Amino acid sequence: MPTVIACFKWVIDEAYIRRGPSGDLDFSSVDYKIGEYDRNAIEEAVRLKEASGAKAIAVTVGMPEAAKGVKDALSRGIDEAYFIADSSFGNLDSSQTALILTEVIRSRIEHYDVILCGEGSSDLYAQQVGPRLAEQLGIPCISFVQKLSLAKDQLVAERRVDEGIEVITAPLPALVTVLPDINVPRIPGVKDTLMAGKKPTAKIIKDDLPPLSEPLVRTISLTSSRMERSCERFGTDAAEIARFVGSLRKKGVIG
């Protein structure tokens, strides 16, 4: 029975970030979510499980608050989860996250066939945890995949490259990062959410891990980039449409 691992990140929902008075970021009313494309990774793990009887495992590194995300992942059809949590894990760089994942996958998950990651996290979108994890584990990495299937001891993937698409074969185990068009993530129902509470989660704390590596990329500032626009509204009757077109002409942006 194959084992498929989906890695995900519990991230700030960027739609709730506001611009602070001095151009700083106002996180005071934010909500959290599983990163957009990580939901595709989770869905693909569950899809492979349904197609081949695989076991689907989810792994995440994050703050203790990410427990909600673990439950969310389990309610999406994942069988069991590994939750690596510490209050200092909110600002790891991709190399640190990849090293922690490597350590946990290597020491706790005896056998696996495929590791799935989203093409990038919704917050920092550095698009590197997958390739770095594959390199550390010494397994092939296939990025930007839009179609995936498992054969006996290899996988077949269609990946996006500059000129179009390449169809790739890779021996297992292998790591795959997925694009949003690979599937449509399901929306868990009430029953799924109830079931999620009964599924096993292994919690791993910082003390269980070797000392944290230094970040390779250091953030020196984060400022808001929100732009100010005049936000004028128009209706749909003839006069309003004429006023709208008139406004564009007045700005000199159309002939």
Partner 1 sequence: MSGVWIISEKRRQSLELLNIGRQLADKMGTHAAALLYHDREHAEDCVSHGADEVMLLPPLAGEEPAESRIPAIAEEAKKGDPDLILLSATPRGKNMAALLAARLNVGLVSSCTQIDYDEGSKTLVMERLAYGGAAVQKVVCSARPAMATIPPRTYETAMPKSGRQGNIRELPSPSSSAIKVIERKVKAKEAKDISEARVVVCVGRGMEKEEDLTIARQLAEAVSGSIGCTRPIAEELHWLPEELCIGLSGIQVKPDLYLGIGVSGQVQHVTGIRNAKVIAAVNKDENAPIFKASDFGIVGDLYDVVPKLISELKK
Ligand X SMILES: Cc1cc2nc3c(=O)[nH]c(=O)nc-3n(C[C@H](O)[C@H](O)[C@H](O)COP(=O)(O)OP(=O)(O)OC[C@H]3O[C@@H](n4cnc5c(N)ncnc54)[C@H](O)[C@@H]3O)c2cc1C
Which of residues 16, 32, 125, 244 is near ligand X by CB under 6 A?
A: 125
Q: Which of residues 35-74 bind ligand X (CB under 6 A)?
A: 36
Which of residues 75, 94, 96, 122 is near ligand X by CB under 6 A?
A: 122
Phi/psi for 75 (5° steps) reads -75, -15
Q: How far is the CB of 177 from ligand X (least distance, A)?
A: 12
Q: Which of residues 157-176 bind partner 1 (CB under 8 A)?
A: 159-171, 174
The Cα 178–Cα 105 span in angstroms is: 19
Paired tokens of 82: 């590994």
Q: How far is the CB of 94 from partner 1 (least distance, A)?
A: 8
Reduce the DSSP state of residue 139 to 3 states and report it. Answer: coil
Q: How far is the CB of 231 from ligand X (least distance, A)?
A: 16
Q: Which of residues 207-246 bind partner 1 (CB under 8 A)?
A: 214-227, 229-236, 238, 240-242, 244-245
Residue 58: strand pairing partners = 6, 81
Q: How far is the CB of 125 from ligand X (least distance, A)?
A: 5
By C-beta, is 156 or 202 nearer to partner 1?
156
By C-beta, is 125 or 244 nearer to ligand X?
125
Using CB under 6 A, which of the segments 21-29, 109-117, 120-128, 193-201 binds ligand X?
120-128
Residue 200: strand pairing partners = none
Q: In whole angstroms, what separates CA 235 from the centre of its chain? A: 39
- Contact status, residue 85 vs residue 66, Cβ threshold 8 Å: yes
Which of residues 93, 101, 188, 204 is near partner 1 by CB under 8 A?
A: 93
The Cα 158–Cα 144 span in angstroms is: 8
- Positive/negative CA dihedral, 103, 108, 114, 119: negative
Q: How far is the CB of 14 from ligand X (least distance, A)?
A: 8
The Cα 197–Cα 72 span in angstroms is: 10
7 binding partner 1? (CB under 8 A): no
The answer for residues whose C-beta is within 8 angstroms of residue 138's C-beta and 6 or more apart is none
**Residues engaged in binding ligand X (CB under 6 A):** 36, 120, 122, 125
